[in-house]
Structure 1
Amino acid sequence: MLLTLCAVARTGAAQPQEAGWISYREAYRAMVTFAKYGKAKNFLQNHYQVTPKDPGQSLEGVRLTLTGRTTQLNLPLDPTGRTVLPLLKAAYDENAMLVLNRNASLFTFQPRLSIVPRVDGIYEGQDLRMACDQALQYMRYTDPGYASRQCKGVRFAFVPKSDAAVRIRDPEREVTLVPELGPAFDGEANAGFRVMTYRFADWAERIHVISQNAPVAIAPVIE
């Protein structure tokens, strides 16, 4: 399940090695911050993300594996390059490696915060505002640079060839958001996703946001 953040937790991003691997310990330290975070995060989830630095580079065929003396796990990547990184003490203690079947220096490795999606695809406007605020509070916790930023909305991202639609419904009208091509998350090189942005300022709080298809990511828009 994935609903995702437009702001990325860049703090503690692992440094890639030329040989096609990065340190699991570095990734673990970057990810454990969210696991230990004690404030509200019930609308949020955190994944580990591998993204190409070159806009023309595809994730097709890219594989990530956790490899250690006693550990061997394939970590499947979703269309945005995210995976669930297990926090394993044994792998940490034995200094396991995250092995990429590509030149690791051509990719960025980092935590990626996102909002948990609903199975039924129907979101309360107030819940999305709370989710965005939870994300912003966490980003401020990890990066003081977010102190002056504000939640502006939520972006739904779908695979490029999808015919997915996102509708906003209030007591007086129902509007389908205009789709665009863009990145699932701000600052990413891959701008080929089908995205639709629900901006809080355009709507009352008590509305419903309806996604007829499961998004690959839902990213809070923080500006």
Structure 2
Amino acid sequence: MRKSLHLSAFVALLLAVGTAAAGPREGEWVSYRDAYRAMVVFEKYGKPKNLIQNHYQVAAKDQSTAYDGVQLALRGKSVRINLALDATGRVTFFPLLKAAYDENAELVLSRPLGALSFRPRVSIVARADGVYEAGELRAACEQALAYQRHVDASARGKKCVGVHFAFAPKGAGVSVKLRAADSATPAGLPVLDGAAFGDGPGEGFKTVSYRFGALPDTAQVLTQDAPLAISALFE
């Protein structure tokens, strides 16, 4: 009986190791090697990327999930690091560590969040002054789309149509205005409940979408508060 239990435990261990090596899956953990490879692609990407950034994101299927206090722990034989998540589930700083890669370390959540997906997330760099030139937003969107085409062939038929600003879920008085070149008075853009990123479902954040349309590059988008995230809109 004892030998049978030992054999069962050994088989379970082999299955666990095999699953860890298989790569990302829905659950509470992911292989660091897979995350590392995905992040290195952006690091080595040689085309313009000065207006965009890349984070590793833990995305909960339940859009009401709060990431306050949640950490993604990097655990290996010689490496143990806690990685903080921002309000959108992105790792604020993702270390590229050869030792963790060689040890096939795991990225494990500090507490269960339900059904999850793990993925790199490209977004547009926010400006400290809250003033965004329409031409610069177009350029940032084009950089994001060029990178998306680099990693995903299905994006090659898409075009940039705008950008998506996300603010805190309980943000009061969110204000984003559009100032056209021929007008001294900015016009407010609609604030809606929606997902943090334009390609995601849910209504957990205050959001504003700005579509390029025919406005000249000299128009400006003005944000009163710093957005949690700015994402490109493709269609």
- Residue 113 (1) aligns with residue 122 (2): yes
**Contact 2:70–2:84 (8 Å) recurs in 1:** no
Of 216, 222, 225, which aligns to 1:213? 225
Q: Which residue number in structure 2 is paired with residue 147 of structure 1?
A: 156
TM-score by length of 1: 0.87
1:23-172 equivalent positions in 2, closer than 5 A: 23-83=31-91, 84-103=93-112, 106-162=115-171, 163-172=173-182
Distance 2:95 2:198 in 1: 25
SS of residue in 2 equivalent to 1:90: helix
RMSD: 1.7
Q: CA deviation at 1:70?
A: 2.1
Residue correspondences, number: 209
TM-score by length of 2: 0.83
SS of residue in 1 equivalent to 2:213: helix
**Contact 1:114–1:217 (8 Å) recurs in 2:** yes
The 4+ residue runs of structure 1 with deviation greater than 6 A are none
What's the CA shift string for 1:119-145, capped at 9, x where partnerless?
A: 111111111100000000111111110
Q: CA deviation at 1:161?
A: 1.7
Identity %: 47
**Contact 2:60–2:113 (8 Å) recurs in 1:** no
Relative to its length, the structure with more helix (as a share) is 2
What amino acid does structure 2 have at the position aligned with 1:157? A
Query: Could you list the runs of 5+ residues in structure 1 that have no partner in the other structure?
Result: 1-13
- Residue 21 (1) aligns with residue 21 (2): no
RCO (CA 8 Å, sep 6+): is it higher in 1 or 2?
1
**Contact 1:17–1:105 (8 Å) recurs in 2:** no
Q: Which residue number in structure 2 is paired with residue 6 of structure 1?
A: none
Distance 1:180 1:48 in 2: 26
**Contact 1:16–1:104 (8 Å) recurs in 2:** no
Query: Could you list the runs of 5+ residues in structure 2 that have no partner in the other structure?
Result: 1-22
SS of residue in 2 equivalent to 1:201: coil
Q: CA deviation at 1:56?
A: 4.2
